[in-house]
């Protein structure tokens, strides 16, 4: 899936992605960001790709789009 980061708290380590495919925002935790070494964070308006974990209702395998 594709989406845009709507919010992300560096202090709390989580935020929300507005999905292009779903009608709701998707929770994202820093532990599910895949393409970064060291401190994993996202910024508002980052374009991302992710898989949606329906069981836990969150984004997993999140990567920034180039």
The domain limits of the chain are 2-64
| pLDDT at residue number 37 | 79
**Tens of pLDDT, residues 27-60:** 999 999 997 778 899 999 999 999 999 999 999 9
CATH 2.40.50.140 is right for the domain spanning 2-64:
yes
| pLDDT at residue number 7 | 99
Contacts of 32 (CB under 8 A, 6+ apart): 50, 58, 59, 60, 61, 62
C-beta separation of 8 from 31 below 8 A: no
| pLDDT at residue number 66 | 79
Dist CA 10 CA 1 (whole Å): 23
Dist CA 53 CA 66 (whole Å): 23
Residues listed for the chain: 66
C-beta separation of 2 from 47 below 8 A: yes
| pLDDT at residue number 36 | 74
């Amino acid at each position: 899936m594709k989406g845009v980061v709507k919010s992300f708290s560096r202090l709390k380590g989580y935020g929300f992605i507005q999905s292009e495919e779903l009608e709701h925002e998707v929770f994202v935790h820093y532990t599910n960001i895949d393409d970064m070494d060291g401190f994993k964070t996202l910024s508002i308006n980052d374009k991302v790709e992710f898989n949606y974990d329906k069981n836990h209702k969150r984004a997993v395998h999140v990567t920034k789009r180039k």
